[in-house]
Amino acid sequence: MRKTNNLILETAIKVLLFFIVLYSVYIFTAGHYYPGGGFIGGLMTAGAIVLLLITYDIKTVEELLPVNYRILTAIGLLFAIGTSAGSLLFNVPFLTHAFGDVHLPLLGELSLHTATLFDLGVYFVVVGVTMTIIQTIGEDE
């Protein structure tokens, strides 16, 4: 009986994981004007964590990322509800978002939107729900 291991995958994952997470962050921030956004960014991050789960096992990944994904989902919902309901304080309809142009030292002229915070909530919810589903289905005992 030969002993199987994932040597090639474990070596490749050390380089590949950074690219996937970096790309998910890029696609999250690009989402306001170009294809992308919180949903697909969260899906990419969940894909990176799934790749870790495939390469190693559930115990190693829990030591690596001690995150309770159900609490992450709740935090994401809190972000989404908070930024949506915050518009009610300024006497404008629900889900209205504000934006303004600011000048930052290194980045130059930026237009910052509160819609990004809403998208961050979507990101957390997608990561939390996807990882909860995969961990519940993936456990073999």
Task: Report yes or no: 112 and 99 within 8 Å, Cβ to Cβ.
Answer: yes
Q: Which amino acid is at 134?
A: I
Cα separation, 44 vs 40, whole angstroms:
6
Stretch 11-40 residues interacting with other proteins (CB under 8 A): 20, 23, 27, 30, 34-36, 40
By CB under 8 A, tell whether 56 contacts other proteins: yes
- Which stretch in 3-11, 82-90, 94-102, 110-118 sits in contact with other proteins by CB under 8 A? 3-11
CB of 55 to other proteins, least distance (A): 8
Answer for which of 22, 58, 85, 88 binds other proteins (CB under 8 A) is: 58
CB of 135 within 8 A of CB of 65? no
Single out the segment in contact with other proteins by CB under 8 A; choices: 4-12, 78-86, 99-107, 113-121: 4-12
113 Rama class: left (phi>0) / alpha (psi -120 to 50) / beta: beta
Tell me the backbone φ, ψ of residue 97, rounded to 5 degrees. -115, 150
Q: What minimum distance in Å lies between the beta carbon of 119 and other proteins? A: 16
Distance from C-alpha of 134 to C-alpha of 130, rounded to nearest angstrom? 6
Name the site residues for other proteins (rule: CB under 8 A). Answer: 3-6, 9, 20, 23, 27, 30, 34-36, 40, 44, 47, 50-51, 53-54, 56-60, 134-135, 138-141
